[in-house]
Chain A
Amino acid sequence: MPGPVTDPRGTPASDTPTRRGTEAVLLGFAVLITVVAQVIVDLTVTGSLRPEMAGFSVWISALWVVAHLVVRRWAAYADPLLLPSVALLVGLGLTVIHRLDLAAEQVGSTITREDAPVQLIWATLGVALFVALLIVVRDHRTLSRFAYTLALLGIVLLALPAVLPASISEVNGAKIWIRVAGFSIQPGEFAKICLVVFFAAYLVDKRDVLALASKKVAGLELPRGRDLGPVLLAWILSILVLVFERDLGSSLLLFGIFVVMLYIATERASWLFIGLLLFAGGALIAYQAFGHVRARVDTWLDPFAYIDGAGYQLVQSLFGLGTGGLFGAGLGGGRPDQVPVAKSDFIASAVGEELGLFGLVAVIVVYLILVERGLRTSLVVRDAFGKLLAAGLAFAIAWQVFVVLGGVTGLLPLTGLTTPFLAYGGSSLVANFVLVALLVRISDAARRPVAPHATPVRLGDAPTEVVTP
């Protein structure tokens, strides 16, 4: 039986669990899985542990200990599942990349550069930014003040590769890079976050107007014609990305995120409908006008018909997944290096080949946990900006994972997006750490008890949700 009920106006803050202990235990599991997986890879492939193994274990543990301590100090009420999910994905990604490094060496390939240590540096940089962001941004609402600056920054980052000469910005036909001094940066990954912040601030501002209905057609309350502006702008922006950077993935990603955020902000399903129409139109135009889009679609429809050309990669991916079967070949036991660029775009097929259906589904479920915790944060957080921002960020991960994994497994045409946290690639990894830092920050605000020892809230200051119309 519970003890005597005290003052009903507010439970003391110390009663709301911070769940930091849960986070610490889960992070411990993530580190354990990472290290064990690395050991298995080394033993299977080379038969002995590499000397750097101890250093790696200490390093990766230190990363998550630091991240955890910072969350404990500066975001004590943050959702305890976000960081461990990320840790598990990053650890698994590092392992698979290391495994592919070994494969390249063993086959005697001419490329000898090891990518796993580089990725570890990027992860460290990512954690550093994660930490910095949590320390600097104490309240996510401050971000809304910079909304238009971030919008400008986002657009600039997005447009930069298109403006730069192809020698700097083009890799494999997509103009989405900035290559300086041996480093390749995909500014689009950062642009995505800037634009989500802007969308959130903008939509909170304008949502009442955008929710106004003009007429009702077949059960849908259509918006007024002049309110179509923003969605058309987002659409045009996406099309421009597609035309000038030949980046199907980012184009699809940006438009999808905007439409879903618009829907959440206005609660009008008609926006989804309009978005879908615009998407269909854009897709049709793209298919007709661009050879590379058409090639992607044709390859997707029948990859085996293009096995010696455009379909080679997808077919190899399917072979890998099929050969992996239920349980996989075991880490180090398969041939994931048969798939070109397995480290970045096709890392999921390497996971599926060596860890099997169970491993791949587990990865998908970890992503699902990450996304659903993000969306839950959005549900719980009290301010409209935080709600939209959390929803936008969480959906960005979901949409990206769906599009990438769908592509790699032949469910959707290939688009060339990266697999968040898992795939090799510095910009993607660092940007996604920033994204998760924002989610952690908002989730802290969401779970933090309201004004613990203050006087009862005066009616005028009460959160808007409390006031029923």
Chain B
Amino acid sequence: MNAPLRRVAISVLVLFTLLIINVNIIQVVRSDELRSDERNTRVLAEEYDRERGSIIVNGNEIAVSVPTDDRLEYLRTYPQGPLYAAVTGYYSLVYGNTALERAENDVLSGEDSRLFVRRIADLFTGRDPAGGDVVTTLDPAVQEAAMAGLEGVTGAVVALDPSTGAILGMASTPTYDPALLSSHDPGAIRAYMEEITGTDGPDPRVNRAIENNYPPGSLFKVIVSAAALQEGYTPETVVPAPDELTLPQTSTKLRNFNNSRCDASQEQRLIDSLTISCNTAFAQLGIDLGEDKIRDMAAAFGLDDEKMEIPLVVAPSGVGDIESDAALGQTSIGQRDVRMTVLQAAMVAATVANDGVQMKPYLVDEVRAPDLTVIDETDPEELREPISAQIADQLTEMLISVVDRGSGRAARLPGMEVAGKTGTAQVRADVPDHNWFMGFAPADEPRIAVAVFVANGGGTGGDVSAPIARDVMAAFFEGRG
């Protein structure tokens, strides 16, 4: 029996060698890859030993690390968790970190090169290394109004300072409490994650202001209008506005909202078409202008299929493929494959408000060292200039008309002129429409631009989203007298 025994002994040696080779592959060859995998929460756990910097809104900490007496020395807390969840994200042992906690992780954790000198000093002074603070551009009044407006619905609000691009508000619903995902109890964290994502309902972790894009519906008519004005149209130019429009080379009939009539004469001024959001007029106008003009103007406004960082990653907006004139007609009223993020909608409004100059949106105002010295400050930056100041003025005039006497009347503010545009986007026949509003105020000297999106709101942009925008703008001005 000894011959087979020796062979078995050698086989065992071979099997164990296989084990050792495999362990070498994991712990040496793949070590770096596994260690730095973002789903590996071990490195995160190491960071818990250091005081992480705060995320600040208007002097108040919305994410702050507090000392604990358990093994992870600091606990991440979010004093107003659900209100700012879309901006802060969470900082989780189990699920890693998201939103600003992720995008500004280097600063918050103290790894950022701008904190380098201080870290060297820490080494010599024996001071515990700490992370830097991130001061956001958010306005608490705007944020609160936005979240209050979205109460009970699925949607998002973005508010911008049109002249700088500073993000004044960024809200997304449904929301969640990041504190409960950032505790030190993995069991409780998993239970809460199951609670918020285990249902059929919308995922609260998604920031609907920037991570998803949606069909903009009639908001897109502003871009078509801009293209028309660029081509020499004026707000007074009379355009065809039939009751129904047969799309070229098809038998598909395009009608207006609720099959309503735009004008008994089957034509109307461009400003009136925008005011009542006439579908047939804009579909025909888009077809008349041609794909290139529409596509170029959309890209000039930022619907160019490119991602953006604010520093959170923003999903691309774009017009999609336009295979035919029929498709172009549908594209021109914001249907078909046109997609916009809510931030992009706010940027379109802000561009018109800012004399045609689009500012780069940003969420981080300044970065501070742990001793509160400012180590970096964001300078407003011009991103694009899709239209001239003159065309911007003409568009503003048309948008004022929308709010004054058109579909956006619910956005009116006392003692102030508001400019805006509503959007009601069809999704599928069996699903309620998306409701949009974008606008800015005061129309003559804009200080805030807002976009509101309510997913499957079921009403129109005018009656669902415009009132939310109005409340957000009102809250902004209330704080400033």
Contacts and interface: CB of A to CB of B under 8 A. Distances in A.
A311 B71 CA distance: 27
A388 interface: yes
Interface string B398-432: 00000000000000000000000000000000000
Interface in A46-78: none
A338 B16 CA distance: 26
B23 A361 contact: yes
A319 B187 contact: no
Consensus secondary structure, chain B interface: helix
Contact of A321 (B1, B34, B45, B186): B34
A289 interface: no
B5 interface: yes
Contacts of B23: 321, 352, 357, 360-361, 364, 409
Interface string B8-50: 1100110110111011101110111111010111110100000
Contact of B1 (A318, A334, A368, A384): A384
Contact of A368 (B2, B16, B18, B184): B16
A356 interface: yes
B8 A395 contact: yes
Nearest to B186: A107
B15 A326 contact: no
Interface string B169-186: 000000000000000111
Binding site secondary structure of chain A: helix
A371 interface: yes
B374 interface: no
B27 A352 contact: yes
Contacts of A325: 27-28, 31, 35
A131 interface: no
A405 interface: yes
B26 A410 contact: yes
Nearest to B15: A402
A265 interface: yes
Interface string A313-341: 00100111111111000000011001000
B42 A264 contact: no
Interface in A247-273: 260, 263-265, 267
Contact of A318 (B2, B34, B185): B34
Contacts of B43: 323
B183 to A, nearest CB: 8
Contacts of B5: 264, 375, 378-379, 387, 391
Interface string A369-401: 001100110110000100110010001001001
B185 A335 contact: no
Contacts of B6: 379
Nearest to A403: B15
B42 A357 contact: no
A109 interface: yes
Contacts of B3: 267
B37 A319 contact: yes
Nearest to B21: A411
Contact of B40 (A108, A323, A361): A323
Contacts of A110: 185, 187
A405 B21 CA distance: 12
B71 A411 contact: no
A212 B481 CA distance: 104
A338 B41 contact: yes
B72 interface: yes
Interface in B179-214: 184-187
B479 interface: no
A318 B23 CA distance: 10
B5 to A, nearest CB: 5
A371 B184 CA distance: 42
Contacts of A387: 1, 5
A106 interface: yes
A411 B25 CA distance: 11
Contact of A319 (B13, B40, B72): B40
B70 interface: yes
Interface of A: 45, 103, 106-110, 260, 263-265, 267, 307, 315, 318-326, 334-335, 338, 352, 356-357, 360-361, 364-365, 367-368, 371-372, 375-376, 378-379, 384, 387-388, 391, 395, 398, 401-402, 405-406, 409-411
Given A107-B184, A409-B22, A410-B22, 19 more contacts: A45-B71, A106-B70, A110-B187, A260-B8, A318-B26, A322-B27, A322-B33, A322-B35, A322-B37, A335-B45, A364-B16, A371-B12, A375-B5, A375-B9, A384-B1, A398-B15, A402-B15, A402-B16, A402-B18
